[in-house]
Amino acid sequence: MRFSREQYLEYMTFGEFERPLFVELFGLLVGLEAEWRAQGATQEEIDLVAFDWDWVPVVNCGGHTGPRGLPTVILEENERELIQRDALGRTVKLVKGYATIPLPLDYPVKTMDDWLKVKAMFTFHEARINPDAVANAAKARAEGALVVASIPGAFDIPRALMGEEVACLAYYEQPELMEDILATLSDTAFRVLERVSQEVTIDQLSVHEDFAGKSGPLVGPAQIRQYFRPYYQRIWDLLSARGARIFQQDTDGNINPVIDALLECGLTSILPMEPAAGMDVVELRRKYGRRLAMAGGIDKHVLRQSKEAIRAELEYKMQPLMRQGGYLFGLDHRIPNGTPLENYRYYVDLGREILGLPPRSPESKGWRRMAF
């Protein structure tokens, strides 16, 4: 079912709402389409529109805050792999038909001198603002769409430029490098969004980070408060004063040790809350209440198990405590390979039943990725 911007904002900020939202955040993992076709899936099931998911129309604000990268160059390609030089100047490998995220084989930045060579792709330029796209965003918003602005991650960008190990060590061994990177990201994002937000109200600020694994985060509360917070707060203070209501971060892994520090930065919502990494949305709701909205948190791996296991997961995650707004019920990431189509159908129908939603309607066909 399509929801309007205002309905979505009210729901995700614990305002008034008619019913919970049941969504598919990410879609199919590479390879699952072939499995489902072999099991008799219709094209509408492959496209996920047959499942009557809740969704909201979304439009980008029209301002680009990320790197203005280099042209991508293919270095080597065969039936299984694609090796190329990407927009950041890295050599990356993609395994065809299996992976959606390429694996970096090298990184362009190790020192301040290296950073200064690539810094220009992160600085402000008038071309970062597309007047036609801004006007389109304003028009779409008037028709009920949610306007989203994205900023580059405070850890995502250093990791992409340096790799995890060098980036983590740089907080201690090269603090001036990390400070200059984040000051550059902050300056560019502020200048872009200050201009754009004069022309269109931005409803949601989004940032992608992925700074944690199953054992915990790669940055601690001290690094978040020292490095992330000035950047995050500067942009959030600007946009929230001009009408933005949601500040959402996409971070996989176990982030339990740093949630308090992230909330201090202004975040209002986090996804996808990965159960395999120890993220329990029910316990987090008990701890943070209305301070933290969430999306995801339903264990994707349970879809490959029995129907009894699926029921147990849904009855726990969809209990009344979680139906008070501020939580998009959905899987914690892409639907995994090996998920039987029959199990997925069962998951959808049972979830709707538990949440008190009407049975999915063949006439109500729609879906869009709800991780944005």
What pLDDT is attached to residue 362?
A: 77
pLDDT the model gives residue 128: 98
Residue 364's pLDDT is 82
Give the dihedral sign, CA 210/211/213/216: negative
Tell me 42's DSSP state. Answer: -
Task: Return the number of other C-beta atoms located less than 10 Å from residue 5's C-beta.
Answer: 23
Main-chain dihedrals φ then ψ at residue 299, nearest 5 degrees: -65, 115
- CA–CA separation, 100 and 85 (whole Å): 16
283-318 burial code (b ≥16 CB/10 A, e <16) = ebbeebeeebbbbbbbbbbbbeeeeeebbebbeebb
Q: Which residues of the chain have pLDDT under 50?
A: none
Q: Tokens 């038909």 — which residue? A: 97
| Strand pairing class (212-213; 204-208) | unpaired
User: What's the pLDDT score for residue 69?
Assistant: 87
Q: Under a CB-based contact definition with an 8 Å cutoff, are residues 87 and 221 in contact?
A: no
